[in-house]
């Protein structure tokens, strides 16, 4: 860790190996495209390396890395927002017939439906709902990860849920 913080690339590569499975899980929330996923995971680590000077060692490294990953994913959505497809009119029907089963196929289908539904929202709304619904983060944790105030997270969550309700209305 000390060598990584001093900017030693080989030491940092060791950190990458240790944390890449977790970062891969986080970044999978931001895209379902395999190529984009690989790129996002790399970007998260590159962002972490260039920001190592800001890590003060006050909390776990993993929590600091998580915040970097979330901001990397959010920036990705904001870049892609300009290319966002026209909203689907049948989005509410994505939920129809989705059984809450435990089979791996059902889990993947559920994840695709949830991802596609959230993709209809603007990046800010999508981020707060992803962190709260898919990662089960509290308001305080979302604030910590995004750098927003807790008040802003609450307001954003309320607005995002309202938009989601409207989106899902038959």
Partner 1 sequence: MTRLEDFEKLAAVARREPAPALDVAAAVGQRLPLLERTRPDALPWVAALACVSAAAVLGYLGLQAWTALTDPSLGSALSMTAWWLL
Chain contacts with partner 1 (rule: CB under 8 A): 7, 9-10, 12-13, 16-17, 20-21, 24-25, 27-28, 34, 37-38, 41-42, 45-46, 49-54, 92, 95, 98, 100-102, 106-108, 110-111, 113-115, 117, 133-136, 161, 164-165, 168-170
Closest CB to partner 1 among residues 110, 143: 110
Q: Select from 87, 12, 73 the least CA-distant residue to 44.
A: 73
* Residue 53 vs 82, nearer CB to partner 1: 53
Closest distance to partner 1 from the beta carbon of 82 (Å) = 26
**Nearer to partner 1 among residue 56 and residue 82 (C-beta):** 56
Closest distance of CB 78 from partner 1, Å: 21
- Looking at beta carbons only, is 83 or 161 nearer to partner 1? 161
Judged by beta carbon, residue 7 or residue 83, the one nearer partner 1 is: 7
Query: Shortest Cβ distance from residue 36 to partner 1 (Å)?
Result: 11
Quote the least distance from Cβ 123 to partner 1, whole Å: 18
57-65 contacts, C-beta under 8 A, 24 or more apart: 57/5, 61/1, 61/15, 62/19, 62/22, 63/144, 65/19, 65/23
Question: Rounded distance, CA 23 to CA 65, Å?
Answer: 8
| Smallest distance, partner 1 to C-beta of residue 81, A | 21
């Amino acid at each position: 860790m000390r060598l990584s913080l001093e900017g030693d690339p080989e030491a940092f590569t060791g950190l990458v190996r240790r944390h890449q499975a977790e970062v891969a899980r986080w970044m999978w929330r931001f895209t379902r495209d395999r190529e984009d996923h690989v790129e996002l995971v790399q970007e998260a680590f590159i962002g972490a390396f260039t920001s190592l000077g800001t890590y003060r060692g006050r909390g776990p490294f993993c929590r600091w890395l998580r915040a970097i990953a979330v901001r990397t994913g959010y920036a990705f959505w904001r870049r892609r927002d300009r290319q966002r497809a026209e909203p689907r009119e049948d989005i509410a029907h994505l939920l129809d017939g989705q059984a809450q089963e435990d089979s791996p196929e059902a889990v993947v289908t559920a994840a695709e439906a949830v991802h596609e539904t959230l993709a209809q929202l603007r990046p800010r709304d999508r981020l707060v709902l992803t962190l709260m619904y898919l990662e089960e983060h509290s308001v305080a944790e979302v604030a910590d990860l995004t750098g927003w105030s807790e008040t802003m997270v609450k307001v954003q969550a309320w607005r995002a849920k309202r938009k989601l309700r409207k989106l899902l209305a038959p």
